[in-house]
Amino acid sequence: MVMGPEKRLTLSGVFLLLGNAVPLAGVLFLEWKLLSVIMIYWAESAVVGIFSIFRMLWARGKEKPYLVPFFMFHYGFFMAGHYVAILIFALLTGDRSMLNIGLLAPLYADPTVLSAVAASFLSHGVFFLRNYIGGNEYLIAEADREMIRPYGRILVMHVAILASAFAIALTRFDRPVTAVVILIILKTVLDVSSHLRERRRAATS
């Protein structure tokens, strides 16, 4: 039995929500810190970049041998700039773990945090396999468009996340757990909205 687009959308949507639920559970039940949540979303940007490369490799376009290395170089600078913003946030809030322990300390100081990164990889992997490959979307995809595809979503999402995080830290919100939960919900709403827009575009292509 072949599953239609609606089923694939339902499955990928469920995994998207589950991926976003892991940081929420970590904050509520495992006392994950705000910095760890922000680093999880930074790591998710890396996951998006990896699957963007896969999408480009499967897409059409003779220029792929040039576009893929250019994307890796350019996206790497984007990730570095985002990391610097997070490091500044950590220092302003008095957390020096990224300097004292390691650059990715908020991700591995508490091993359970890595489960959120794994959930993100699984979520994006399901979307890639079920929709892009299984749904034959790669047959009409163009490599140059796939190269710029992740930037709009990531820029909007992470500007909103970092702005909210700075607001939480600098205003000394009296219930930080509540504030972080609100941040996670905001990110989930942005994720779902972006996901639905992408599915509508795919349906009309």
Residue 5 has pLDDT above 80, yes or no: no
Instruction: Please count the other Cβ atoms lying within 10 Å of the Cβ belonging to residue 38.
Output: 24
Start-to-end CA distance of the chain, whole Å, equals 24
- pLDDT, residue 73, reads 95
Residues 6 or more apart in contact with residue 109 via CB below 8 angstroms:
36, 97, 101
Residue 155 has pLDDT above 90, yes or no: no
pLDDT in tens, 52-107: 999 999 999 989 999 999 999 999 999 999 999 999 989 988 889 999 999 999 99
Q: Comparing 156 with 116, which gets the higher pLDDT? A: 116
How far is residue 139's CA from residue 145's CA, in Å, rounded to a whole number? 13
Q: Under a CB-based contact definition with an 8 Å cutoff, are residues 9 and 199 in contact?
A: yes
Q: Residue 33 is which amino acid?
A: K
- pLDDT, residue 199, reads 73
113-143 burial by CB neighbour count: b if 16+ within 10 A, else e? beebbebbbebbbbbbbbbbebbebbeebeb
Look-up: residue for tokens 């700039």?
81
Residues 6 or more apart in contact with residue 4 via CB below 8 angstroms:
none
pLDDT in tens, 177-195: 887 888 888 888 888 888 7
Distances (CA, A) of 53 to 67, 141, 148: 9, 13, 11
Q: Residue 74 is which amino acid?
A: H
Q: Is the pTM of this model over 0.95?
A: no
- pLDDT, residue 7, reads 43
176: confidence class by pLDDT, cuts 50, 70, 90: low
Average pLDDT score, the chain: 86
